[in-house]
Amino acid sequence: MRSLWNRTKHVIKRPLYAAYERRLTGKARAWRKPEHIGIIMDGNRRFAREFGYDDVVRGHEAGAEKLHDVLGWCHDFGVRYVTLWAFSLDNFKRSESEVKRLLQLFEEKFREIVGDPRVHQNQVRIHNIGRMAMLPPTLQQAIKSAEDATREYTKLQLNVAVAYGGREEVTDALKRYLADEAEKGRPLAEVASEFQASHIDPYLYTNGVPDPDLIIRTSGELRMSGFLLWQSVYSEYYFCDTFWPAFRKIDFLRALRAFDLRQRRYGK
């Protein structure tokens, strides 16, 4: 009954939302825009339960489809970089059957990217970040195919965080930095004495990409969970109650408006 009532409310409010969306879209042209948006796509499973699906993977499928809308909005408003947290290292702790089907869904979507006209028309470059070695070989190949097919595109870069953890990213970066310094024959004491935070940047998964200006988390959770832990130190945050598959253009525009209204102090 609750689910039916929620759906009925959405139908009633739809014309009002359409008018509000047009109003915000018109105003948004003058707003200051983020160059890089990070998104924690949360709430897929709760969305599935809310709408009465017995299989929570249906929520993840709906979330994967929502991505096309969001990328289109980002393209329209000149956002150049988008980083999506699709699957965390902690997600491996879910049931074996759910993890298996999720990874299969990712493989299917990465393979679709190769022939997706929207990706090529908008010149979206795909780049995966995370511990690739933990993924099944067929998924790794699908990711590589998507990256290769879009490697030359420059209008919008989509970083997809699969098998990602913020602490693990920093750990991996530091390990690689120390390994490179050791290969040069430098003593550890010398490396430690001269170490600066900027030395880590070239070893991050997002090397070459500016730090996120705005990070959006859906589903009402008010935490970052380690997403882009190093890169987000000066990011602005926007928390949205809407589950990711139900994320609307209005929600996106509200996030842009919130960013425009904030005075960025960069820790000052």
- 202-246 pLDDT, tens digit per residue, is 999 999 999 999 999 999 999 999 999 999 999 999 999 999 999
Least confident of 14-18, 68-72, 176-180, 229-233: 14-18
Q: Is 42 annotated as catalytic?
A: yes
Per-residue pLDDT at 265: 80
Domains: count for the chain: 1
* Higher per-residue pLDDT: 54 or 132: 132
* Higher per-residue pLDDT: 6 or 29: 29
Q: Distance between CA atoms of 171 and 177, rounded to whole angstroms?
A: 10
Residue 174 within any structural domain of the chain = no
Residue 76 within any structural domain of the chain = yes
Predicted confidence (pLDDT) at residue 10 exceeds the cutoff of 80: no
Residue 177 within any structural domain of the chain = no
Catalytic choice (6, 42, 76, 207):
42
Q: Is 128 annotated as catalytic?
A: no
Task: Report pTM.
Answer: 0.92
Q: Per-residue pLDDT tens for 140-180? A: 999 999 999 999 999 999 999 999 999 999 999 999 999 99
Per-residue pLDDT at 15: 76
Predicted confidence (pLDDT) at residue 4 exceeds the cutoff of 90: no
Residue 256 within any structural domain of the chain = yes
Residue 5 within any structural domain of the chain = no
What type of residue is 167? R
Predicted confidence (pLDDT) at residue 40 exceeds the cutoff of 80: yes
Residue 78 within any structural domain of the chain = yes
Predicted confidence (pLDDT) at residue 81 exceeds the cutoff of 80: yes
Q: How confident is the model at residue 266 (pLDDT cuts 50, 70, 90)?
A: confident
Q: Per-residue pLDDT tens for 245-261? A: 999 999 999 999 999 99
Residue 142 within any structural domain of the chain = yes
Write out the residue range of the structural domain in which residue 221 sits: 33-165+211-261
Residue 38 within any structural domain of the chain = yes
Q: Per-residue pLDDT tens for 94-127? A: 999 999 999 999 999 999 999 999 999 999 999 9
Q: How confident is the model at residue 12 (pLDDT cuts 50, 70, 90)?
A: low
Per-residue pLDDT at 13: 66
Per-residue pLDDT at 263: 85
Q: How confident is the model at residue 17 (pLDDT cuts 50, 70, 90)?
A: confident
Q: State the CATH number of the domain containing residue 155.
A: 3.40.1180.10
Catalytic choice (54, 90, 91, 260):
91
Predicted confidence (pLDDT) at residue 7 exceeds the cutoff of 80: no
56 DSSP assignment = T
* Higher per-residue pLDDT: 265 or 129: 129
